[in-house]
Copies of this chain bind each other. A is one copy, B any other.
Amino acid sequence: MSHLPRHVEIHEEGPREGFQIEPRSFPLGERAALVEALADAGLAQIQVASFVSPQRVPQMADAAELFGAIRKRPGVRYTALWLNEAGYRRARAVPQVDPVGTLHYYASDAFARANNGRGADEMAALQRDWLRRYRADGVAVEAAYVMTAFGCNLEGEISEATLSRVLAGLAAMLRDEGASLPKVYLADTVGWANPRAVRRRVDLVRQHLPGVRVGLHLHDTRGIGMANAWAALEHGVDLFDASVAGLGGCPFSGHADGSAAGNICTEDLAFLCAESGIDTGIELERLLHAARLAERIVGRRLDGKLMHAGTLQTLRARGPAP
């Protein structure tokens, strides 16, 4: 049963996901130019950088300077990621960061421990503090992410019961706090999703948090990311994270666990939407310009397909020979 949305919102993750995973850093001016090209293409929300430990992620050490270098386009949100209070405080000190209050839940306990030194339940408990902190600071609490919502290489498949427990906990916390949340994202952090799981788990979110807008953060780890996206579109999902040129996959990053695969590719997803009559607000030709810029910056062929083949726009105009 098809319930294709008429409009789909795609948030760009490439500048953070992509440059964070590369073993070397790239000139700040080039990264700023990429963000500007993405905004020119019609991306309305772009995650520019993460405020994380400069020791652990030296590629993001200049996040504040990067934000300062970007010529901002009105109507576009330039967001940042932080995972702890130090990062949050650094981001808050940068006036160019558009603050988006985001909560982070983990469906995999082992993944939460590996990434934060704390289990899933402890991370969930901390989200109440984040909610309160955001409200105290006047930062709108906009979304919760459920990381590893489908499976995890450390823990195996995440059961629907486990995901339900996480979602129920989030719903209960929001009730307790008298808060509501516009968006909940299921993140397929390391590529375990499949179309049926997408549909079933999107339904779980809708059951536990009626009225919430469900987003998907998909990685194309095992080659079926776009099939998952299509299944989601037909299930009425209208909110996706994606990465220009497929940035974020990195053959040199040495993540033998598959976690080095990029998000689904922004322009390929936007093309899927366009060919399906779904509006994204994105101008594909301009987005290809950004994708090719990303490829030049990184200096190797990236995974995006449309950027190498071109759109159908001019070809379609040709028509049959007279």
Residues of B contacting A225 in the complex (Cβ-Cβ under 8 angstroms): 226
Give the nearest-CB partner of A264 in chain B.
Answer: B223
**CB-CB under 8 A for A304 and B223, given A312-B192, A318-B156, A319-B156:** yes
Interface: A301 (CB within 8 A): yes
Residues of B contacting A227 in the complex (Cβ-Cβ under 8 angstroms): 226-227, 229-230, 272
Decide if A191 touches B321 in the complex (CB within 8 Å).
no
For chain A, the count of residues having a C-beta within 8 Å of the partner chain is 54
One of B194, B195, B222 near A306 (C-beta < 8 A) = B222
> For the complex, what is the distance from the CA of A198 to the CA of B224, rounded to whole Å?
17
List the number of copies, as a whole number: 2
Decide if B272 touches A315 in the complex (CB within 8 Å).
no
Interface: A268 (CB within 8 A): yes
Decide if A309 touches B155 in the complex (CB within 8 Å).
no
A-B interface, 6 closest residue pairs, ranked by CB to CB distance from nearest: A223-B268, A223-B305, A258-B309, A227-B230, A194-B275, A156-B318
Give the nearest-CB partner of A231 in chain B.
Answer: B230
Nearest chain B CB to A72 CB, angstrom units: 29
Decide if A268 touches B156 in the complex (CB within 8 Å).
no
Residues of B contacting A110 in the complex (Cβ-Cβ under 8 angstroms): 320-321
7 more A-B residue pairs beyond the given contacts A195-B276, A221-B309, A223-B268, with a C-beta to C-beta distance below 8 A: A153-B315, A191-B309, A194-B275, A195-B272, A196-B277, A223-B272, A224-B271
Contact residues of A between 214 and 236, Cβ < 8 Å to B: 220-227, 229-231
One of B151, B195, B265, B315 near A223 (C-beta < 8 A) = B265
12 cross-chain CB contacts under 8 A: A154-B318, A195-B276, A196-B275, A196-B276, A221-B305, A222-B309, A222-B312, A223-B306, A224-B275, A227-B272, A251-B308, A303-B303
